[in-house]
Amino acid sequence: MKTVIASLFALGFLGLAFIAWLSHRDAAEQRVVPAGAAEGAESGPGGVAGPAAARGRGRGIPRFSDIAGFVMAYRVGRVPLGRIAVLGSWWWVGWHFFAR
């Protein structure tokens, strides 16, 4: 069972690396594609098209930092709840793996 779990984690890391690679490639392509060409190119896991199709249609996968930035912009009143949650989570990750 240990091997199965380790393999699933490895698969997850590989998936993250693949999506990260796709998103950076998309971001690089979008820097040279006119803004109008990116319209109407949404896709997702619920759609019929895959990540490659999303890329090919001009919109592409957002980078993880864009998603993090989107979440971090969430506020409740004047409290930057998203920012506190994301930065706090990353702080905890460091503590959990390097110190606890």
Partner 1 sequence: MLQLPEASSATEVRAFDRPLVMVPVFALIAAVGGLFPSFTSGANLLVHAIGGTMFWLGISGRAGRRPVPSRLPRSAGWWLVPLLLMALTELWAFLHTPDPNYPTLSLLLDPVLEGYLPRAVAYFAWLGGFWVLVRR
Give the residues lining the site for partner 1 (CB under 8 A): 1-2, 5-6, 8-9, 11-16, 18-19, 22, 41-47, 51, 54, 59-62, 64-70, 72-75, 80, 83-84, 86-88, 90-91, 93-100
Closest distance of CB 95 from partner 1, Å: 5
34 versus 46: smaller Cβ distance to partner 1: 46
The single-letter code of the amino acid at 49 is A
The whole-angstrom separation of Cα 34 and Cα 69 is 24
Q: CA 96: distance to chain centroid?
A: 22
The encoded tokens of residue 56 equal 């090919």
